[in-house]
Amino acid sequence: MRRLAASIAVSVVLLGSASAADDALYLRAVKKIEYIEERKAPPGSVIVFTQNEINAWAKVRIPEIVPDGVRGQHLQLKNGGAEGFALMDFLKMRHAKGEATNWVFAKLIEGERPVEAEITLQTKGGYATVELKRLTISGIPTPTVVLDFLIKTFLLSMYPTAHIGEPFEMGHNLDHLELKPGGVRVFIKKQGWEPLPPEERLPTPPAPKAP
């Protein structure tokens, strides 16, 4: 579950102080995550995370991962994916991670900019593929070369175990997930479940063409 959360979190960074309602939602989300990670969920059961629970969890956890350079973020779940919105300063994000940036590139990425990202998620037989479909900065589509750079520089530096555009095993006895407006349904493997053979696992999506 943490690997999946890490893959998605780069496009869903939510900051802000939590209200009493947010605290209750956060605790519910944490209990459900622990329930899954500790394999207490019965085989074949379904655990539902509401969009509000996910946002409350992110308000607490994401600032610990991205301490500076991101604000005003929110998430919108959709069928099979999600859209994230934020104001980001990529240079501050790098500096917060203690990473140096050469002067020329620093000038290109410094300053706060509105960022929109869209991901899709396919899951089957314990495997998932997260694909970053769209990333716009200040309303301008990001060229493939810049998108690749941002994935390598920000996502992989913060989440080394994350996978974008290739199948990975979700672990924690998960079978598949369903993302829909308003929430995520987590399906636990049934009793006697057998792993899918390699030929039936999710295929790796083709690499995007350069603009």
- Model pLDDT, residue 14: 32
Whole-model pTM? Answer: 0.71
- Model pLDDT, residue 94: 74
Give the DSSP letter string of 14-70.
--S---HHHHHHHHHHHHHHHHHHTT-SPTT-EEEEEHHHHHHHHHHHHHHH--SSE
- Model pLDDT, residue 140: 85
Tokens 């295929």 — which residue?
A: 203
- Model pLDDT, residue 63: 75
- Model pLDDT, residue 177: 95
Burial (CB < 10 A; 0-12, 13-18, 19+), residue 14, is: buried
- Model pLDDT, residue 179: 94
Q: What is the pLDDT of residues 6-62, one digit of tens each?
A: 444 443 433 334 455 678 999 999 999 999 988 888 999 999 999 999 888 887 877
From residue 195, alpha-carbon distances to 13, 16, 54, 123, 198 in Å are 33, 41, 28, 13, 9
Gap between the Cα atoms of 162 and 158, Å rounded: 9
Beta pairing class for 174-180 and 127-137: unpaired
The segments of the chain whose pLDDT lies below 70 read 1-21, 97, 99, 104-105, 108, 145-146, 149-150, 152-162, 192-211
Name the β-bridge partners of 123.
128
- Model pLDDT, residue 21: 63
Q: Look up residue 99 and give its two tokens.
A: 């990473």
Gap between the Cα atoms of 88 and 91, Å rounded: 9
- Model pLDDT, residue 104: 65
